[in-house]
Amino acid sequence: MPIKGYRIMRIVTVKSVLNKHKRRDEWFLDDYSLNPYYGCRFNCIYCYIRGSKYGGHHRGLAIKINAPKILDRELARYARRREYGFIALSSATEPWMTGVEDRYKVTRMCLEVIMKYKFPVHCLTKSPLILRDLDLLEKINTSAELPHDLKTVLKNGVLVTFSFSTLDEEVAKIFEPGAPSPKDRLKALAKIKDAGFTAGIAFIPILPFITDSELETMVKTAKELGSDYVFFAPLTLYGEGKKIYLRIIEEKFPELSAKYNELYRDRFSPPKWYTSSFYKRVLDYTAKYNLKFGLTKIRIGL
């Protein structure tokens, strides 16, 4: 179901586009993040952006039309300093939105700039449209400068991670109404692996009492596709996003409403009794199928 406020599309100019982190992300290994758009047409009900500081300032979809030009200036500065690091595409939007990116090509033009300055990139996506850009990604993969401390961990300059909350097509229609189907995402991942890229799946967020029953199937599916790694994390709920999600639970899964109120009543993430059991199951399944949980060893409080 479309969420009010995400249908309007605007073209904007920005003064900056690249965000440099204070420290490298422990999970996705990015030192920078880049969002070519404000907002997203995929309208995922659980999207954390709705409850974050990014969700309230830019209602609707906006194309950062001058993002490639601004990125060129910013990366030139970091390249001169040799401050190479993975750039996450993206942390707060879908960089390969069908009907938007295939028209405006802002993400593709940003990839051309990233290639020019030889930065590595971690592509985080739900969209098979990423296949359009395999030509650029192949060049980045072989030419990017990796940070010195990651050269013993990673071999190439491109990581591709597809995001899922479920493998169930009907459940996906409820919680990811505008996104490509899980089946289409799995097919795209298979093609990316066939092309020789390092790639995996982020099963994030897993929806308590709805998709946490799929954990073993998820790991098994990822292994069968040749994924190099998987990520798992349970749902977090903030602010306005929490209200939207719980409203959908009341409408579509009324029998779970009391459980969700207990789980998230006065907190944004599930309590330890849930997360400990959750991660124990994840680690058991990844061990069973001999699949890496994360790109490097991730600390999990069990």
Beta-bridged to residue 64, according to DSSP, are: 12
Sheet of 37-38, strands arranged across: 9-12, 61-64, 37-38
One-letter amino acid at 302 equals L
In 3D space, the residue among 154, 218, 141 whose CA is nearest the CA of residue 185 turns out to be 218
Confidence at 6, pLDDT banded by 50, 70, 90? very low
Written as six digits, the tokens of 284 are: 């058991």
Confidence at 56, pLDDT banded by 50, 70, 90? very low
The count of structural domains within the chain is 1
Q: Please spell the DSSP secondary structure of 211-244, one letter per residue.
A: TGGGHHHHHHHHHHTT-S-EEEEE----HHHHHH
Give me the chain's average pLDDT, please. Answer: 93
- Is 297 among the domain residues? no
- State the DSSP H helix or E strand holding residue 121, giving kind and residue range, or none if neither: strand 121-125
In 3D space, the residue among 80, 90, 56 whose CA is nearest the CA of residue 202 turns out to be 90
Beta-bridged to residue 86, according to DSSP, are: 30
- Is 295 among the domain residues? no
- Is 86 among the domain residues? yes
51-66 average pLDDT score: 69
- Is 300 among the domain residues? no
What are the tens digits of pLDDT across the range 259-293? 999 999 999 999 999 999 999 999 999 999 999 99
pTM, 2 dp: 0.94
- Is 44 among the domain residues? yes
22-27 average pLDDT score: 96
The confidence score (pLDDT) of residue 9 equals 84
Sheet of 18-20, strands arranged across: 18-20, 30-34, 86-89, 121-125, 158-164, 198-206, 230-234
- Is 301 among the domain residues? no
Rg (CA), the chain: 19
The confidence score (pLDDT) of residue 295 equals 96
Please give the Cα distance from 7 to 216 (Å, whole number): 36
Provide the residue range defining the domain that includes 136. Answer: 9-288
- Is 294 among the domain residues? no
What are the tens digits of pLDDT across the range 231-246? 999 999 998 999 999 9
The confidence score (pLDDT) of residue 49 equals 78
Task: Look up the CATH number of the domain holding residue 18.
Answer: 3.20.20.70
- Is 298 among the domain residues? no
Please give the Cα distance from 149 to 276 (Å, whole number): 31
Asked if the model's pLDDT at residue 125 lies above 50, the reply is yes
The confidence score (pLDDT) of residue 4 equals 42
